[in-house]
Amino acid sequence: MIQFLYPLWFLALVLLPIYWYYEWKFKSKKKPRIQYALVDVIKDIQKRNHWSFYTHIIIKSLVFILIICALARPRQVLVRKDISKKGVDIIFALDVSGSMLAVDFKPVNRMEAAKKVAAQFVQKRDHDRIGIVTFAEYAYTQAPLTLDYNMILNVIDKLNVDEQQSGTAIGSGIATAITRLKNSEAKSKVIILITDGRNNAGEIDPFSAAELAKTLGIKVYCVAVGSTGPVDYPFVDPIFGVQYQKVMIDMDIPSLNKIAQITGTRKVSVATNSNELNQILEEINRLEKSEIKQKNYYEYEETFTYLLVILLILMLYDVLRRTIIRKDIP
């Protein structure tokens, strides 16, 4: 970008029309003194004088414009941007208990629906560390906090319901997520708890875990997945293979609301279909934004010297045109 340090010099360009008028009014009327009466010579002189007159005006005008531009001090502005970004540290605490096999997110079960929206959430983040914790009867860290989103997406893709464990240890899931966040220096620390049940396993009370999260400045967003009525649940028939039966899966919404209240987040969001679940994660994505600060540093490179070079070339040409290049009339 070109910037002029003294742009008011350009006001002097209003003198150009005055100069043009003066040249046309007074100098263009002058007739050359002819010493020969030869017609061809007269025509040649008139032709060359006509060309010389306009060349003279053009060169002088260009010289004047270049002088004004040089006095205005043009300079190249180089902008260097210093961008500092403070990301959010996020842990997904994902329920992998057997109830997540319920098929009320048709055509997929709760587990696959949760994996899909979690992956979409990860793909929309930038400069945030993300980790994965799963829990059923016990809680495990599947991926520590990392900026390697490809690794996180690969972990999410390979998650499956753990049918070997019975029970849902929500408190243990929150506590395990806290251990991954407690030493974080991020401006915001977040646990996204996705579950479809109530705490019925583990040695850690969910409310105690929530109080610890609050003490450490960690927010817990609670997302309940699934409907509250009878839902299709798969079972294997030895003759007909996988079949479905209606089962009741109890969700403890009041407890999830209390966890959210303790840590200072919104009430639990209940998703009964994939669209609702996606909207909930989208809203959390909007609420937890990375902080980006940008400072601009400006460097200037003077460019008026280039104009001076062009000016010298024009002046040299004008001198040569008047002396060497122009032929004397005999």
Across 58-67, 79-88, 92-101, which has the greatest mean pLDDT? 92-101
| Nearest-angstrom CA–CA distance, 289 and 291 | 6
For the domain bounded by 88-289, which CATH number is listed?
Answer: 3.40.50.410
Residue among 220, 200, 217 at smallest CA distance from 133: 220
pLDDT value at position 330?
Answer: 46
CB-CB neighbours of 325 under 10 Å: 10
In the predicted model, what is the mean pLDDT of residues 103-131? 90
pLDDT value at position 316?
Answer: 78
pLDDT value at position 329?
Answer: 44
Pair 301, 74: CB distance under 8 Å: no
Reply yes or no on whether the pLDDT at 276 is more than 80. Answer: yes
Q: Which residue's entry shows tokens 């860290």? A: 141
Beta-ladder partners of 291: 86
In the predicted model, what is the mean pLDDT of residues 238-257? 86
At 235, the pLDDT band (50, 70, 90 cuts) reads confident
Residue among 312, 329, 294 at smallest CA distance from 82: 294
- Write the secondary structure of 169-235 as one string of H (helix), E (strand) and C (coil): CHHHHHHHHHHHHCCCCCCEEEEEEEECCCCCCCCCCHHHHHHHHHHCCEEEEEEEECCCCEEEEEE
Rg (CA), the chain: 40
Q: 3-class SS at 63?
A: helix
pLDDT value at position 32?
Answer: 52
pLDDT value at position 294?
Answer: 55
Task: List pLDDT tens digits, range 206-223.
Answer: 999 999 999 999 999 999
26 phi-psi bin (left φ>0, alpha ψ -120 to 50, beta other): alpha
Task: List pLDDT tens digits, range 110-119.
Answer: 999 999 999 9
Task: List pLDDT tens digits, range 11-56.
Answer: 888 888 887 877 777 665 555 554 544 445 444 544 555 556 677 7
Task: List pLDDT tens digits, range 145-172.
Answer: 998 999 999 999 999 998 888 889 999 9
Q: Which two structure tokens, joined as six digits, stand for 71?
A: 């006095």
Q: Which two structure tokens, joined as six digits, stand for 129?
A: 């560390």
Between CA 167 and CA 177, with CA 172 as vertex, the angle to 5 degrees is 130
**DSSP class of residue 163?**
T
**Whole-prediction pTM value?**
0.64
Reply yes or no on whether the pLDDT at 80 is more than 80. Answer: no
At 326, the pLDDT band (50, 70, 90 cuts) reads low
Residue among 280, 285, 261 at smallest CA distance from 213: 261
pLDDT value at position 30?
Answer: 55
Helix 170-181 vs helix 253-263: angle between axes, to the nearest 10 degrees?
20
**Which helix (H) or strand (E) segment is 260 a member of?**
helix 253-263
Q: Which two structure tokens, joined as six digits, stand for 125?
A: 């983040």
Largest CA distance in the chain: 126
Pair 63, 315: CB distance under 8 Å: yes
List of residues 6+ apart from 249 with CB closer than 8 A: 99, 102, 196, 197, 226, 231, 233
pLDDT value at position 82?
Answer: 57
List of residues 6+ apart from 103 with CB closer than 8 A: 109, 110, 231, 232, 233, 234, 244
Domain boundaries, the chain: 2-78+297-325, 88-289
Reply yes or no on whether the pLDDT at 140 is more than 90. Answer: yes
| Nearest-angstrom CA–CA distance, 87 and 127 | 5
Reply yes or no on whether the pLDDT at 62 is more than 80. Answer: yes
Reply yes or no on whether the pLDDT at 3 is more than 50. Answer: yes
CB-CB neighbours of 12 under 10 Å: 14
